[in-house]
Chain A
């Protein structure tokens, strides 16, 4: 199964590399990493889109992670029992809401607020898109986090409960450390979803091809760029660049997953080392 997935991924990457090959043949490959996107002037720089994607993804994760962990803890342990059920039902419902609904709600509610109170200009910005993307990826992460917390063996929970642990102590000393692998998978999925989402960034980030100086400015992501180009063109050099965008996007996702896995491995080793060091003290 894993091998099949790996082969499929490699095949997709190869296909995109082949379709984007004309860029290399025309000597425009390195020009891709410039900051100017102006097809009329034969400038196909997609660096603003790469940075746009990274900024929106990282910001969305920063907003979403504490919110998701907090909600998962509430839904699993901290909230009163009836509220826990309500929270879980709401989260599952949110996970099924089409992305365009989030987009429309944000266009009519969040964008005017941002325009009026936080950001100069139209209100369509990297920050606006990140906030909505954070809400969009939160249900996926929360569901994984809750599953992780629920998978902690009941015998451990009984032991900790019977020793008089308060709910927060149970969370900190038992549930969160034990559920760590599931938390990590939730983060990876959230990251993947944030990186791959097209509609939110298309509707809310402003789609400016200029390199944004701050998150309050308009920006364009790789996915939004692909959607915008493919809607208007099928044969030009401009069209060929979207395969480079796709390739970069895929490589980003692969790199993210690999680095989180590595962090996990080093983190686990580090934790074991720390534990042993602490315990070996007299």
Chain B
């Protein structure tokens, strides 16, 4: 049985948002390549917890974080709040997919190329190859391969969500944060995404917020419930 190094660790992590305590002295050590589910009642702060790992909460201000958050990036553990790690680099290595699909108002091809465009990669051959690879990975190539110039916002909800995952994967992130990625999808779309997560297991550390216990049973290696500011392991 292969052993995986720690990919995500927190020490004495506390977080308040708008004065409301969300997390209280959380210590966590999650292995790389696993699928970790986070469950808990609505409004308890599960999404906020995810946004701590790519520092997305900082865009809204009003949050206050204490403690240590370390991620394994490029082979070494980095304290993302203390080591002056560049924010743009962090977010390119820690992908995020949101509850509601959020393709940008541009074509499917441009959506996929967008992360590479941000990194000033202009090689059209590379972009095309990579886009097709990621579309294949999320089982979307057969459905949209012949209309890559269509506006991404015209796709169905499930297709949009898979496109967003593909867009996230364009940068081959080491850690993927998924905020209830299947909540707006039908069963078919949900199973497709779960199949994709199975494929990513081992190469990508996946931290996923979900409300569905059956989904946890199907795909999660570990499960934590967020309750009263603390994480309780349930699986």
Q: A-B contact count, CB below 8 Å?
A: 67
CB-contacts of A227-282 with B (<8 A): 275-276, 279-280
Task: Tell me how far the C-beta of B57 lies from the nearest C-beta in chain A, rounded to whole angstroms.
Answer: 11
Q: Report how far A183 CA is from B37 CA in the complex, Å.
A: 43
CB-contacts of A150-194 with B (<8 A): 155-166, 169, 173-174, 178
Q: Report how far A165 CA is from B87 CA in the complex, Å.
A: 9
Q: Once the chains bind, are A279 and B107 in contact (CB under 8 Å)? A: yes
Asked if A92 is at the interface of the complex by the 8 Å CB criterion, the answer is no
Residue of B nearest to A281 (CB): B124
Q: A155-B102, A156-B102 are in contact. Are A163 and B114 (CB under 8 A)?
A: yes
Q: A276-B149, A279-B149 are in contact. Are A162 and B104 (CB under 8 A)?
A: no
Q: Once the chains bind, are B100 and A164 in contact (CB under 8 Å)? A: no
Residue of B nearest to A155 (CB): B102
Contact of A165 among B88, B100, B105, B168 (CB under 8 A): B88
Asked if B90 is at the interface of the complex by the 8 Å CB criterion, the answer is yes
Interface flags for B68-96 (1: CB within 8 Å of A; 0: not) read 00000000000000000001111110011
Q: Report how far A156 CA is from B87 CA in the complex, Å.
A: 18
- Interface residue tally for chain B (C-beta within 8 Å): 33
Residue of A nearest to B93 (CB): A164
CB-contacts of B100-148 with A (<8 A): 100, 102-107, 109-110, 114-115, 117-119, 148
B-side contacts of A164, CB under 8 Å: 87-92, 115, 118-119, 171
Q: Once the chains bind, are A161 and B164 in contact (CB under 8 Å)? A: no
Q: Once the chains bind, are A156 and B91 in contact (CB under 8 Å)? A: no
A-side contacts of B100, CB under 8 Å: 155
Task: Tell me how far the C-beta of A47 lies from the nearest C-beta in chain B, rounded to whole angstroms.
Answer: 47
B-side contacts of A174, CB under 8 Å: 104
Residue of B nearest to A169 (CB): B118
Task: Tell me how far the C-beta of A86 lies from the nearest C-beta in chain B, rounded to whole angstroms.
Answer: 15
Asked if B167 is at the interface of the complex by the 8 Å CB criterion, the answer is yes
Q: Report how far A163 CA is from B54 CA in the complex, Å.
A: 10
B-side contacts of A279, CB under 8 Å: 107, 109-110, 148-149
Q: Once the chains bind, are A159 and B59 in contact (CB under 8 Å)? A: no
Task: Tell me how far the C-beta of A148 lies from the nearest C-beta in chain B, rounded to whole angstroms.
Answer: 15
Q: Report how far A276 CA is from B96 CA in the complex, Å.
A: 29
Asked if B43 is at the interface of the complex by the 8 Å CB criterion, the answer is no
Asked if B17 is at the interface of the complex by the 8 Å CB criterion, the answer is no
Task: Tell me how far the C-beta of B161 lies from the nearest C-beta in chain A, rounded to whole angstroms.
Answer: 12
CB-contacts of A30-88 with B (<8 A): 81
Asked if B61 is at the interface of the complex by the 8 Å CB criterion, the answer is yes
Task: Tell me how far the C-beta of B171 lies from the nearest C-beta in chain A, rounded to whole angstroms.
Answer: 8
Task: Tell me how far the C-beta of B203 lies from the nearest C-beta in chain A, rounded to whole angstroms.
Answer: 20
Task: Tell me how far the C-beta of B227 lies from the nearest C-beta in chain A, rounded to whole angstroms.
Answer: 26
B-side contacts of A165, CB under 8 Å: 88, 118
Q: Report how far A166 CA is from B119 CA in the complex, Å.
A: 10
Q: Once the chains bind, are B117 and A173 in contact (CB under 8 Å)? A: yes
7 pairs from A and B in contact (CB 8 Å cutoff) = A158-B59, A158-B98, A160-B104, A160-B114, A161-B91, A163-B92, A164-B88
Lowest 9 A-B CB distances belong to which pairs? A164-B91, A164-B92, A155-B102, A162-B96, A279-B149, A159-B102, A164-B88, A163-B115, A166-B88
